[in-house]
Amino acid sequence: MAKNNIFQFYKMNGGGNDFVIFDNRKQILPADYSALAKKLCDRKFSIGADGLLVLEKEPSADFRMVYYNADGSRADMCGNGARCIARFANLHKAAGSKMNFLTDAGMISAEIYEKTVKINLGVPKDLKSDFSIKIDDKKEFNASSINTGVPHTMILVKEAERIDVQDLGSKIRYHKDFAPAGTNVNFVQPVDEHNIIVRTYERGVEGETLACGTGVTASAILCGVKELARSPVSCLTRGGDTLQVHFKIERDDRRMSVADVYLEGPATVSFYGEVEI
């Protein structure tokens, strides 16, 4: 509902990854979502968030999810955002407890539970394991990458707590090997076969976020590919919450495939209110 340029919004978070969310099924929001994201995600002068989520009508599904990063760039997918908008849709009777919704990365299915939301992230693509990245023309890192809706690069580390995510993450995110689009960067510490610690530098936020759904999914799968972990994998995020990733890896002499990818974790309402646009 909007009156005199006042719009209702929800602020939600998934493991500390936070979003401003609007129901725009009646097409009342200003058309420039990019400018809206930059304005409303500013933590000093507005609501503050890692990104903007907009729920729109979609004839082929329960609804459509549109996502913009805090810097105003559009992203194909956001795992925690998808879980939050699924709960938002259920709260606003846009969908039942089981739903399908369209994203720029394709169709997503979701199921609402009392304390968590579980989504099927479809089939990942562009898997590349064990390649070298040189930083500052001197230090080399072994990396692996995969697209779980958006591109992610994983660097294995011994102590995630000691990593300068802002500095090193930025250098890898803008590395020439990933130009022009860039990549999200995950620093991953394997703990045991069902547990990993993940810290993520997010493209579009241009800094570390407290959790990244597609990032922990990518990290869990890549650890599975490297036989460092087995599904289900519990991923401890920077915000302190644990997101669980399920997947199936099938191997034979000629190929390897990843299927049945699910991400589950908390998706909660922080607050709701009205904002002047």
Catalytic positions: 78, 212
Is residue 47 within 8 Å of 22, Cβ to Cβ? no
DSSP reduced 3-state for 172: helix
The two structure tokens encoding residue 172: 């890898």
- Per the listing, tokens 């990933």 go with 178
Strands (E), the chain: 2-3, 6-14, 17-23, 51-56, 63-69, 98-103, 106-112, 117-120, 125-135, 139-147, 151-156, 184-192, 195-202, 207-209, 233-236, 242-251, 256-265, 268-276
Q: Which residues contact 258 (CB under 8 A, 6 or more apart)?
A: 123, 124, 127, 221, 224, 225, 247, 248, 249, 250
Cβ contacts of residue 240 below 8 Å, gap of 6+?
16
